[in-house]
Amino acid sequence: MINVEVRLYATLRKYYPKSNKSESLKVSLKKGVTLQHIYDRLNISIEDIKIVMVNGRAQNHGYALSDGDRIAIFPPVAGG
């Protein structure tokens, strides 16, 4: 098993409503899983995601996670 830390930003916080802005979600997963497993576990649609950072670096959805990874998931930003 591996343990990762997930932070959801802006409109994505609705997928983990118990959190506050500074709180992260601790997730235990099987070794060898990808970012897509995180999305599936939290029921986040891929269309709701703009960028995902793992340990401060942008990664694609097939990135294989490692123990201790810190994941930040951001939605598309709208504005004017």
Q: Using one digit for the tens of pLDDT, what is the confidence trace for 19-61?
A: 565 678 899 999 999 999 999 999 999 999 999 999 999 999 9
**Quick check: 27 and 13 in contact, CB under 8 A?**
no
In a domain, 80, yes or no: no
How far from 19 is each of 7, 23, 26, 49, 61, CA to CA, in Å? 9, 6, 11, 18, 23
pLDDT at 44: 94
Residue 67: closest CA among 25, 23, 24, 32: 32
In a domain, 79, yes or no: no
For the domain that residue 46 is a member of, what is the CATH number?
A: 3.10.20.30
In a domain, 41, yes or no: yes
CA angle 25, 36, 47 (to 5 degrees): 95
**Quick check: 8 and 25 in contact, CB under 8 A?**
yes
Domain containing 50 equals 2-74
The total number of structural domains that make up the chain:
1
